[in-house]
Every structure is written in structure tokens, then in C-alpha cells.
Amino acid sequence: MISELYYPEETSTGHVLTKIAEGLADRYSVHALCSQPTYSSRGQRAPAWETRNGVDIERVWGLTLNKDVLWQRVLNAVTISTSIFVRALRRLDRGDVALVVTTPPLLPLVTATACKLRGASCVLIVHDLYPDVLIAAGLARADAWSVRLLRAVTRWLYRSVDRVVVLGRDMETLVARKLGPAHAGKVAVIPNWGDVDAVSPAPKWSSPTAQKLDLLDRFVVQYAGNMGRTHGMEDVMEAARRLRPENVHWMVLGSGAKRAWVEAYVAREALRNVTVDSIRSREDQQDFLNACDVSIISFAPGMAGVSVPSRMYNSMAAGKPLIAVADAESELARVVTEERIGVVVQPGNVDQLVATIQRMRADPVALDEMGTRARAAVVARYTLSHAISAYAHLIGGVIDRRS
């Protein structure tokens, strides 16, 4: 397992890859090659070597600057990717299978190169689609020469690895298009999961967070997760401003590039109906995920196929209805529609978002039914055991083809 983020990182990518590695350790000998913490656990110093839950963990040197400052994040990526490349050349042997994630974007390129040099197989796990995510974030223009170059490099990467794992059907469509018909068969859809054993539905009055914030008699909309450049925080804050006269409270938990903008907006508009705080630890999920009536996930336009939010599965595990501010063809919107667990709102349509919240608040029976279906869906289709079985089957196929 090759990733910048791994235990003790609790941010989504670090948590997901740690659980995959540990789940596969029951069937394979697993070695994790990663960096020191750079996200939620930045500043914590982890051992250079340790064994945890059956996985041998090796952490390389690299800068651990503030990832919310773009140039510092780039320096982190370059130094970490270079260190991992050098270490991978020593660690990889013929017959090994390397699983690598797409973030940071340089990491899969150096990993695929190391695999080719050492005769190892490479499985790419696509969490973010490049350069598409840069365009959606407003960091690059679609017609820029750098974007055209990155598209060509990405196409080479997808075609050079043995398998490409994507998190949703919208991603599958975009990646298959990049690969072309001759290579489209190497794409596999393996969704992330909800922590159904740690998170379960509970009434709002049982949440210490809801009690502390005096939210028991208010209709609470919760945004919990990254507030990055691709997330539609503008829609969320405008809806909060318009609903200020009503008994609707917004709980915004997380960090990211737009966190400072959110805090400044709340202060400027004097939004006493908004609480902004840092994301809580995974041990507190049972509390804070049940401190709301509905969960909202908001994306910028054009994000379909670019990223699939793993946070939706834990909201489903808590039995929370979802408001998906997302393109209709996105995996998020498709799950919400197919499972009948919430409402899909087009990004930028704040009128529709406000009306959706008012309608949900007025119909608690429908809200409870959505929540019940959400919990049933995640237990039936989106658990860790489902994901581990799928990864084990995929890796077994890669090994068989190389034998």
C-alpha cells in the first residue's frame, strides 16, 4: 500500500487506505509505504517503522507543511513522492502488487515507474480525477497547455497500470473514456463504506453535542467534512443566510481551503444560526453525526466523475437523510435517488436548496423513512467487508494473470 496518508491520519484517504491494508492482511503479506502525518494529524511524529494490525508500516521523510497553502502542499507532494519512489525501488520485488492512490498526483506516476523497473504489478485507486479536479476547483483552465499535458500523462498512467479502481459509476465513465475502448475493461468500481459497527442511528436528544449547543428544539442541517476548493460552501452559506429568520441551525464541521472564507462570511453576516467548528475525531462520530436532522454534502458544478465523497456512507450509517448538492449524474446523486434517502439539488440553485430544507423540516415522517432506508442501504451494500472482498478478488486476479 503506497500513500502519502496512512495511520495515524484520520482524514478520509488515510483512514480508508489503512482499513483496506489491514483488511487484506488476513489474506496477504501487507507492507504500507507512507509519509509522516501531513493532514489531520500534522505535527504528530509517528515511528519510522512499526507493525500495526498485521501491516508493516514504513514512513519516509518528506516535508509536512500546511496543506491548505497551495505552494506548501506542492512542496509536501514533491518531497514525499520522491522519497517514496527511492524507497519503493528498494522494497518492491517481482510478483509484488502495489496499491497506490491518486493523491498527491505525482505519487502514482513514480509508483507506476518503480513497479515497471522492479517487475511488480500496480493497481491505481482513483480518489480524485486529474486534471479534472483542478479545473473544477478553478486552479486550471481546460484549454491550458499544462492541462493538456496532464491529460496525456494521466492517460499513460491509466494504461500502464494493471487495474484502475474507481469509487463510483460516474468515475468509471470518465476513466473508461480516458483509457479508450481497448483498455476500458481494466476499470473496477469498488465504493468506500460506512463504519456500521461504530456508527448507528440515535435520537438527536441523546447527542452531547446537540445538548451542549442547545439544538434539541431546532431543525439542524449538518455539513461535516472537507471544505475544499471543489466544495460548494457558497450555496450552503447563502442558504443559511436566507433561512436565518427560521428555526434552522447549521452545524459546519471541518477544515480546508474554504474554511477561512466560511468563518469570515458567518462573521460578516452575523449568522447566529451557524456553528463552525473543526471536524471531530472518528471516535466521536456516533455523537456528532447524530446531532442533526439532515446531512448536506455540497459540491461545485462539474464535479461528477471527479470525486466521490466517502462521508456520505457514515451519514447513511447514522440513518440521516441526505441533501446532495451535486450534478445529477454524480455517484452521490445517483445513490441518493436510487436508495430514496434524500433530495438532489443542482449546484448553484440556492432557491431549490432553501425550499428543500423547508419541505424536509415540515415532513418529519418522510424524513424518518429516508433515514431508515439510508441505514438499510449502507448495511446491505456499503460496508468494509464488502470493500475488502472486492479488493481481495481484484488482487487475486492480478496475481493470476501474472503467474
- Distances in Å between the alpha carbon of 150 and those of 70, 223, 308? 18, 32, 21
| Average pLDDT estimate for 373-402 | 96
Residue 108 belongs to some domain of the structure: yes
Mark whether 387 and 377 lie in a shared domain: no
Residue 78 lies in a domain: yes
Residue 282 shares a structural domain with residue 366: yes
- The helix (run of H) or strand (run of E) holding residue 361 is helix 350-362
User: 261: how many CB neighbours lie within 10 A of its CB?
Assistant: 14
Question: Each residue of 238-278: pLDDT tens digit?
Answer: 999 999 999 999 999 998 889 999 999 999 999 999 999 98
Query: Do 100 and 138 reside in the same domain of the chain?
Result: yes
| Angle of helix 106-118 versus helix 70-91 axis, rounded to 10 | 10
Q: Are residues 363 and 396 in the same domain?
A: no
Number of domains making up the chain = 2
Residue 50 inside a domain? The answer is yes
Please tell me the predicted confidence (pLDDT) of residue 339. Answer: 98
37 with 158, same domain? yes
Note whether 169 and 233 are same-domain residues. no
57-106 pLDDT, tens digit per residue, is: 999 999 888 877 888 988 999 999 999 999 999 999 999 999 999 988 89
pLDDT digits (tens, 9 = 90+) for 192-211: 999 999 999 999 999 999 99
Q: Is residue 3 in some structural domain?
A: no
Judge whether residue 403 has pLDDT over 80: no
Closest CA to 312 of 363, 373, 258, 382: 382
Whichever domain contains 73, its CATH number is 3.40.50.2000
Is residue 228 assigned to a domain? yes
Q: Is 101 exposed, middle or buried (0-12, 13-18, 19+ CB in 10 A)?
A: buried
On whether both 370 and 224 belong to a single domain, the answer is yes
Same domain, 304 and 165: no
Average pLDDT, integer, range 17-46: 92
> What confidence category does residue 42 fall into, taking pLDDT thresholds of 50, 70 and 90?
confident
pLDDT value for 182: 84
Q: Where are the alpha helices (DSSP H) in 161-284?
A: 169-179, 208-212, 233-242, 259-269
Q: Using an 8 Å Cβ cutoff, are 199 and 227 in contact?
A: no
Residue 147 is part of which domain span? 12-193+383-402
Which pLDDT band, with edges at 50, 70 and 90, does 10 fall under?
Answer: confident
Q: Same domain, yes or no, for 356 and 304?
A: yes
CA distance 33 to 318: 33
Distance CA 353, CA 326 (A): 11
Evaluate if residue 40 carries a pLDDT over 80: no
Q: What is the pLDDT of residues 321-356, one digit of tens each?
A: 999 999 999 999 999 999 999 999 999 999 999 999
Of residues 318, 297, 302, the one with CA closest to residue 374: 318
Examine the domain organization and report whether 22 and 111 are in the same domain. Answer: yes
Are residues 120 and 229 both part of a single domain?
Answer: no
